[in-house]
Amino acid sequence: MSPPNVAHSPAPDLVRITRALISVSDKTGLVALGQALAAKGVEILSTGGSAQRLAEAGIPVKEVSDHTGFPEIMDGRVKTLHPRVHGGILARRDIHAEAMTTHDIPPIDLVVVNLYPFEATVSKGADYANCVENIDIGGPAMIRAAAKNHDFVTVVTDPEDYEAVLDELATHDGAVTLKLRRMLAQRAYARTASYDAAISSWLAGQLGETFPPRTTLSGKLSQTLRYGENPHQQAAFYVTGEQRPGVATAIQLQGKELSYNNLNDTDAAFELVAEFERPAVAIIKHANPCGVAEGANLLDAYKQALLCDPVSAFGGIIAVNRPLDAATAEEIAKLFAEVVIAPDADDAARALLATKKNLRVLLTKDVPNPAEPGMMVKQLSGGFLLQNRDNGRISLDDLKVVTKRAPTEQELADLLFAFRVAKHVKSNAIVYAKNGATVGVGAGQMSRVDSARIAAIKSAEAAKAAGLSEPLTKGSVVASDAFFPFADGLLAAAEAGVTAVIQPGGSIRDNDVIAAADEKGLAMVLTGMRHFRH
């Protein structure tokens, strides 16, 4: 079907609002809007609960069923799908005047509609039937019609936009400018697109389709950022509505505006620290951990995490998985950090951190569940990659001992700790750990042996800075996010002083690597699961 080829005159700049149709699920600001429109002499048409709320406030309102001469039917499923409604919205005033007169269709100049709360219904865990009933039909139809005819009609889908419309009505003697009508039309189509995307995704989930033939990504603007990764790049932060604890749902307690890099690094830090059941601290720099530790309490964990690489920790992101206490906050305040993120903070901790005015402090109420499913997206030229969140978890029962010597109980605990950290380090990833703390991290190298060597070098430097007589890697364990393709990476770790190794296995040279471990007297376990992170 092809659209009609219709010639029409240019759109007028100012269009007076004489009649408005209001049908909203979210009634925020409804009464104030109705009062302002009534004061301008605007006739208000409305439906159901919206009409009742306006009438209760003493605002003159006409039920849509009285306007159309046709009652609401089928439990309200059919109420605005009528020529007297859609004709009044879609009619071009320059070429459809005769049809409007012939069929007695008065113009509707303002459409204020927000939709049934489908997303909220799904998030509450409602059953299938209730979710379907919360799929709006008449609302999107009116919104799309009004947006298409924005030359003459103003459409509003968000209570946040009421003020802009009312300001123009006051400024332009009851009229709205073409510029605002076009802007609101764009927002209207974005809203119906995100609504349909939510419905489509939900239905795909109900059908068990992880990757349906078509999919749509949707987000709501949360913050326009000063710039992106670099000052010459523009950037913004959009939220999806997912209620996973983290940067998207956190309350910023204090500090400067978060930057693109702050948001990215803070997300990485909080997802990492959530991996641990005991009190834990993660210090992140450029999305990689420079120190992670568990402890009997946060203060102990923080000190051990900082010991791993105090130089890189400068200007980093600090994440904790427990409410922040005063003693830990006092130590954190000694370091220049960009962001602190925690589930909560007591009054004393808040007061201590408040002395660091530029420090951004985020509180999330909870920590994310590392085992929870979810999707991750990466933009490519001409498309995007979509995959499950890496929620893989390795336990003691998953480990396979492949060397002559089995790990000790302490080595096993440290191996599991190191492998959880390695999951959050850019590949190729090597993590040395001892007593529940990282003692060396090698990230993002093109060669795994280079990552092993770099981590050992940084560990030696940290030990020297702390006044220790030997590298922190002495007597540690090592985790590799993927298999050792050759024995050289393992041997580099052995030279650093490790006693045990955890790695996925799966290389054609596994036997060579295992033999090298046996020769050095190391214990080695295989996980059968890798954790590449690019």
State the catalytic residues. 148, 286
Give the tokens for residue 442. Answer: 């090698």
Residue 332's closest CA among 287, 363, 308, 301? 301
Residue 309's closest CA among 194, 225, 451, 432? 432
3-state secondary structure of 129: helix
DSSP 203-245: HHHHTT-SS-SS-----EEEEE-S-SSSTTS--EEEE-----S
State which amino acid sits at residue 319. A
DSSP label at residue 412? H
Place of tokens 């003020």: 163
Give the tokens for residue 169. Answer: 């009505």
Residue 436's closest CA among 273, 280, 274, 270? 280
φ, ψ for residue 283, nearest 5 deg: -115, 125
Query: What's the sign of the alpha-carbon dihedral 451, 454, 460, 465?
Result: negative
DSSP 324-342: B-HHHHHHHTTS-EEEEEE
CB 534 within 8 A of CB 387: no
* Cα 182 to the center of its chain, rounded Å: 28
State which amino acid sits at residue 309. D
Place of tokens 């040395």: 432
CA atoms of 189 and 419, how far apart (whole Å): 45
Cis, peptide link before residue 428, omega less than 30° from 0: yes
Taking each helix axis from N to C terminus, what angle separates 488-496 and 510-519, rounded to the nearest 10 degrees?
A: 20
CB 368 within 8 A of CB 381: no
DSSP label at residue 48? H
